[in-house]
Amino acid sequence: MKSLHILLLIIMGGIISIPASGQDSIHIGTRHTMFSQILNEERAYWIYQPEKQAGEADKNYPVLYLLDGDVFFHSVVGFTRFFSSSRASAFPPCIVVAVLNTDRTRDFTPSCSAAHRDGTVHSEDKPQGGGAEKFYRFLTEELRPEIRKRVSTGSQSLLVGHSYAGLFTLQVLLDHPEAFDTFMAIDPSLWWDQGIYLKQAKQEMHKKDFAGKQLYVAFATQQRPNVKLNQFSLADSLKAKIIPDMEKQHLHVIYKKFPEEMHGTVALPGIFDGIKSLFRRQLRQ
Amino acid sequence: MKSLHILLLIIMGGIISIPASGQDSIHIGTRHTMFSQILNEERAYWIYQPEKQAGEADKNYPVLYLLDGDVFFHSVVGFTRFFSSSRASAFPPCIVVAVLNTDRTRDFTPSCSAAHRDGTVHSEDKPQGGGAEKFYRFLTEELRPEIRKRVSTGSQSLLVGHSYAGLFTLQVLLDHPEAFDTFMAIDPSLWWDQGIYLKQAKQEMHKKDFAGKQLYVAFATQQRPNVKLNQFSLADSLKAKIIPDMEKQHLHVIYKKFPEEMHGTVALPGIFDGIKSLFRRQLRQ
């Protein structure tokens, strides 16, 4: 009996100590998985929930859907905390949902293509990609209801993507502008399938209504050594030929270039600047 | 006996369940406090420890001391994770120690002064500040040994500060260059005490040896509405009059301006760019 009591005390000591060490730990989110019927596979996502600000107990915060989520999660959570506590910004506290990848080329591209970055196609290359519409359906028909079950969310939402995920973000804006309120596309891969996005956008833009929606789009313009790319001229085409059409259809657009960044480094400066630029508040001092 | 066994099973069940729920939580660090004899007060700090990279079980990582730590912790942890996993960067995984404030004006400023940002002094203003040397002693004589007790640290260390904490970072570089390897000063408050740092630096620089040390210093050059500031001309003076002297004494210096940022928004873009610029690796592709 005595040894059992001692064991019990040791175990209870262990239990009592757990909340104490838990308090000392800095959590930024929770990991989850769900089975997607649409994609027919298990998908992982992470959720960050901001603390409720004073006097906002009943308020539900917007949701920022972050593609390539695990790579940028910590930084973007930091940005949302920074801007939502800044007097210079009208950015609200945000729930951040990081969506993790299984096959990003498949999920983020709007068409099946074998074309290279410079537009060339070689006979030996196998076409790939084309799953963007399916992935969009996963995001909005499966993941979003799942998030709403777990967290009280506001009605506003943001979609944020870089590279292929930036292209996906532009494609969702074009095909399903009602699905999100704010779109941030950082160095979107406009070269995909010989610039198919620009062609489709040029044809279809006049049918759209983007009232109340906003887009931040940014490009890294520092050349990568030894990478042939027609991305720079495509970025200029987006600005000259597509954005004026978007604005005609009532989209609020901010377009930026980052001359000090390359494709691989622009995502975080772009997301930071995107939040800052879209949600800038007139400073009182 | 039987009820005790059942209790035991329940308790043990509880224990067993704890790691399972713990796995779903994303932790980025731990909160700590210590009593500083030098400052005669309780001080709080947070520690982020990176996961050991493959084949580096025995390797100890550098420590990045982050001033105004709670404001920037999440983002900077994100940056260190991003750069240490990037092929384009030679930045190692880093332990991040966020140092939280009690009285930042006292701790970060090198002299006691009543001068305003524009250099004027009004008779009714009470001088304040001047605790930088004491705070330096807390950092290196008390906090650093405490960190070394808790975590296996490498010998390299970085000091990162913004605003008053940026001025403090420059002051430590001048007075105690041996204390850190990399110094990052973002929009340092050079206007403090009518520009006392620049005067002291001009006089003393020739006595220093900065071999093996590096400094990143950046300024926001977007004007704040209604704030009179001679910071812009002081930033130019630092570049023209002090940095050449620093380089003569073998300091590797990177100096940047951020024309799109104001004092309040430059810290995170500055720290990101600082890590990128100081630890850039020649890209292979």
Domains and CATH numbers, chain A: 21-278 (3.40.50.1820)
Query: Which of A71, A77, A272 faces B74 most closely, judged by CB atoms?
Result: A77
| A260 touches B: beta carbon within 8 Å | yes
Within 8 A by CB and 6+ apart from A75, the residues are A268, A271, B74, B75, B78, B79, B82
**Whether pLDDT at A20 is above 70:** no
Residue A282: band (very low, low, confident or very high) from pLDDT cuts 50, 70, 90 = low
The answer to whether the CB of B119 falls within 8 A of the CB of B190 is no
Which chain A residue's Cα is nearest to B226?
A285
For the CA atoms of A40, A46, A51, A52, what is the dihedral angle to 10 degrees?
Answer: -20
Confidence (pLDDT) at B88: 82
DSSP A123: T
| B269 touches A: beta carbon within 8 Å | yes
CB contact under 8 A, B75 and A73: no
Interfacial B residues in 186-215 facing A (CB < 8 Å): none
Interfacial A residues in 82-101 facing B (CB < 8 Å): 82, 86-88
Q: How many CB pairs under 8 A join A and B?
A: 128
| B7, B11, B28, best to mutate vs chain A, most A CBs in 10 Å | B28
Amino acid (1-letter code) at residue B205: M
**Whether pLDDT at A7 is above 50:** no
CB contact under 8 A, A24 and B32: yes
Confidence (pLDDT) at B82: 96
The answer to whether the CB of A109 falls within 8 A of the CB of A130 is yes
Confidence (pLDDT) at A14: 38
Confidence (pLDDT) at B52: 86
Per residue in A168-181, pLDDT tens? 999 999 999 999 99
Distance CA A168, CA A180 (A): 13
A205 to chain B, minimum CA–CA distance in Å? 31
**Whether pLDDT at A9 is above 80:** no
Confidence (pLDDT) at B207: 94
Averaged over A28-49, what is the pLDDT? Answer: 97
Confidence (pLDDT) at B240: 96
Residue A58: band (very low, low, confident or very high) from pLDDT cuts 50, 70, 90 = confident
The alpha-helical segments, DSSP class H, found in A109-239 are: 132-137, 144-150, 164-175, 192-204, 231-237
Residue B204: both structure tokens together: 């003393």
Per residue in A188-206, pLDDT tens? 999 999 999 999 999 999 9
Distance CA A231, CA A264 (A): 14
From the number of C-beta atoms within 10 Å of its C-beta (0-12, 13-18, 19+), residue B87 rates as: exposed
Query: Which of A4, A27, A79 faces B27 most closely, judged by CB atoms?
Result: A27
CB contact under 8 A, B226 and A260: no
Residue B278: both structure tokens together: 């100081």
Distance CA A39, CA A107 (A): 9
- The reply to whether ipTM tops 0.85 is yes
Residue A223: band (very low, low, confident or very high) from pLDDT cuts 50, 70, 90 = confident
Partners of A262 on chain B (C-beta within 8 Å) are 88, 283
Confidence (pLDDT) at B75: 98
**Whether pLDDT at A84 is above 80:** yes
**Whether pLDDT at A18 is above 80:** no
Helix, strand, or coil (residue B267): helix
Q: How many CB atoms are located within 10 Å of the residue B111 CB?
A: 17
Distance CA A62, CA A73 (A): 16
Digitized pLDDT (tens) for each residue of chain B, 285 residues in all = 445 454 444 444 333 333 334 459 999 999 999 999 999 999 999 999 999 888 888 889 999 999 999 999 999 999 999 999 988 899 999 999 999 999 999 999 999 999 998 889 998 999 999 999 999 999 999 999 999 999 999 999 999 999 999 999 999 999 999 999 999 999 999 999 999 999 999 999 999 999 999 999 999 998 776 665 667 899 999 999 999 999 999 999 999 999 999 999 999 999 999 999 999 875 433
A122 to chain B, minimum CA–CA distance in Å? 21
Residue A22: band (very low, low, confident or very high) from pLDDT cuts 50, 70, 90 = very low
CB contact under 8 A, B227 and A75: no
Residue A23: band (very low, low, confident or very high) from pLDDT cuts 50, 70, 90 = low
CB contact under 8 A, B225 and A1: no
Partners of A49 on chain B (C-beta within 8 Å) are none
Confidence (pLDDT) at B188: 97
Amino acid (1-letter code) at residue A85: S
Amino acid (1-letter code) at residue B4: L
SS3 content of chain B, % helix, strand, coil (to 5): 45, 20, 35
Distance CA B174, CA B168 (A): 10
Which chain B residue's Cα is nearest to A23?
B31
Interfacial B residues in 34-73 facing A (CB < 8 Å): 46, 71-73
Tracing tokens 């009532």 back to the chain, one arrives at A250
Confidence (pLDDT) at A56: 86
**Whether pLDDT at A109 is above 90:** yes
Residue B227: both structure tokens together: 């704030």
Amino acid (1-letter code) at residue B248: K
A198-A202-A208 Cα angle (round to 5):
115
